[in-house]
C-alpha cells in the first residue's frame, strides 16, 4: 500500500513538473511599454519615496526590511499618493 502511494506521488510530481512552462503568460508586450524615446531628458524625482522610506523603513539584523505602515501619517500618505 505504501509503495502504491509513493508511486502515485512520484508520478504526480513528474506530471506537474512542467507546470511553470505552460502556465507562463505569453510574451506579448503592451504598446505602452514598447514606446521609448532614447533622447528624452525627463528626470524623475524620487525624493518623496526616499523620505517615506527614511521615516518608516525598519531594518533589522535578520536582513528583512519592514515598513511600519500603521505609523504612516495622513500627510505622508498624501505625499506618497502624489508621488
Cell 528626470 belongs to residue: 43
Read off the pLDDT of residues 29-56 as tens digits, 9 standing for 90 and up: 788 777 888 899 999 899 999 999 999 9
Q: pTM (2 decimals)?
A: 0.52
Closest CA to 53 of 83, 28, 23: 83
pLDDT the model gives residue 52: 96
* Angle, in degrees to the nearest 10, between helices 47-56 and 74-82: 150
Does pLDDT of 20 surpass 60? no
42 or 24: whose pLDDT is higher? 42
Buried b (16+ CB within 10 A) or exposed e, 1-38: eeeeeeeeeeeeeeeeeeeeeeeeeeeeeeeeeeeeee
Distance CA 16, CA 1 (A): 23
Amino acid at each position: 500500500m505504501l509503495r502504491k502511494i509513493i508511486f502515485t506521488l512520484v508520478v504526480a510530481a513528474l506530471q506537474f513538473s512542467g507546470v511553470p512552462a505552460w502556465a507562463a503568460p505569453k510574451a506579448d508586450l503592451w504598446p505602452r511599454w514598447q514606446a521609448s524615446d532614447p533622447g528624452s531628458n525627463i528626470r524623475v524625482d524620487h525624493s518623496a519615496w526616499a523620505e517615506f522610506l527614511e521615516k518608516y523603513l525598519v531594518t533589522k539584523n535578520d536582513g528583512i526590511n519592514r515598513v511600519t505602515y500603521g505609523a504612516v501619517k495622513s500627510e505622508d500618505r498624501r505625499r506618497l499618493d502624489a508621488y
